[in-house]
Amino acid sequence: MTKNNLTAEHVPFMENTFHRSWYVPQGARVYTEKFQCSNDTYVRYVINDAVVPIETCSTGPGFSCEINDFYDYAEKRVAGTDFLKVCNVSSVSNSTELTFFWDWNTKHYNDTLLKQ
């Protein structure tokens, strides 16, 4: 049997690096859940109320990852990533906060719902 054949006798779980079924639908709820069990803190990902274990770190309760192991995992995942380049950002502002909550009446944000 070749690697590309899909038969009823064989389901390729770990052979492919890309799986369309791993996509998260646009209307999904995706969150990182942090909780404490005894004196230890754990983290896990939840998508639409289903726990999605981190393959290399899921030995905690409910397929969770111990917090320090999670920090190590996250650091390795983003190490060396140039987010400005990856996201194709050509200019960067120095704005570090959202202001539209309180300056909507002095600035024009193109929002017709705020007209009085």
Cα Rg for the chain, rounded, in angstroms? 21
Identify which has the larger pLDDT, 53 or 1: 53
Q: Please report the pLDDT score of residue 64 as a whole number.
A: 96
Q: Does residue 113 lie in a domain region? A: no
Ramachandran angles phi, psi of 55, nearest 5°: -55, -40
pTM recorded for the entire structure: 0.56
In DSSP notation, 46-60 reads: EETTEEE-BTTB--S
Q: Does residue 78 lie in a domain region? A: yes
* Continuous segment of H or E residues that includes residue 68: helix 67-78
Give yes or no for a contact between 6 and 32, defined as CB atoms under 8 angstroms apart. no
Q: Does residue 16 lie in a domain region? A: no
- Number of domains making up the chain: 1
Q: How confident is the model at residue 1 (pLDDT cuts 50, 70, 90)?
A: very low
Render pLDDT for 29-81 as a digit per residue (tens, 0 to 9). Answer: 889 999 999 999 999 999 888 999 999 999 999 999 999 999 999 999 999 99
